[in-house]
Amino acid sequence: MAMTQVFTSEWTKIRSVSSTSWTLALAASVTVALGAVISIFAERGFDDMSRQDQLTFDPTQISFAGTSLGQLAMIVFGVLVVANEYTTGMIRTSLAAVPRRSAFLFGKITVATGLAFAVSLATSFLSFYVGQAALGDHGAALGDSGVLRAVFGSALYMTLIAVFSMGVAAMLRSATLSLGVLMPFFFLISNILGNISATEKFGQWLPDQAGQRIMQVVAPADDSTPYGPWGGILVMALWVLASVIGGWVMLRRRDA
């Protein structure tokens, strides 16, 4: 089967499963809504901040605070795109139609990644403008130094979260098992390792901790991270590449 046919087939699968559409809609709405709420509270509490906190206040990053919860929906989306094939038993039909497993996985990830990025990009711009409106005089403009990079970076971060989840799902071949690994990893283990002084230097190399740096415009006064915004997203991209390669290897070695 030609790659254009593979892309069309994968697009049809994603579009026909309502759960994947709902997770993308949820990712967008939660990200924008939570970012707006946190921006409102930040604006109201700005005058009560210390002088140091005011100087390092990052209105751009504040508007993207909702990604901390929105990424949960992106994880679910990435897992469902791959694991639904195994849950429904469609994997046998899919591999019969596309015998080349590399083409099958590449087509699926490519289509899902394009969709995730389109939704994430729209969400990032909306989150930024809503957040800056809520911040009022304390907000930033899109033309300010580093802001446009952070907006596109937010979309890139959310997309990479989804792709990382696809790779893990391809390795584990189960939605339940994949979510059981990814949710604690991102929402418990990573936060603990990144916020305890004894493990902080290790935690900053985890995919989410490194990737979130791309959304930062103003660095904290005590920042000791050994990489910048683009360095952080590169670290995350390497994690994503490793997960996708792992999924590809497992797909080639295992029976459907």
Cα(183)–Cα(161) distance, integer angstroms:
12
Residue 113 has pLDDT above 80, yes or no: yes
The token pair that represents 218 in the structure block = 């103003």
- Among 153-157, 185-189, 208-212, 217-221, which is the least confidently predicted range? 217-221
- Per-residue pLDDT reduced to its tens digit, 175-216: 999 999 999 999 888 888 887 877 888 889 999 999 999 999
Q: What is the pLDDT of residue 255?
A: 65
- pLDDT band for position 47 (cuts 50, 70, 90): confident
Cα–Cα separations (whole angstroms), residue 243 to 12, 60, 65, 118: 25, 30, 26, 22
What mean pLDDT comes out for the span 232-248? 97
Q: In the 8-state DSSP scheme, what is residue 57?
A: -
What mean pLDDT comes out for the span 147-164? 97
What mean pLDDT comes out for the span 126-155? 95
Q: What is the pLDDT of residue 256?
A: 58
Which residues have a Cβ under 8 Å from the Cβ of 99 and sit 6 or more positions away?
none
Residue 256, helix vs strand vs coil: coil
- Averaged pLDDT of the chain: 91
Of 37, 57, 59, which is closest to residue 49 (Cα–Cα)?
57
**Could you give the percent of the chain with pLDDT greater than 70?**
98
**pTM over 0.85, yes/no:** yes
- Per-residue pLDDT reduced to its tens digit, 59-87: 999 999 999 999 999 999 999 999 988 88
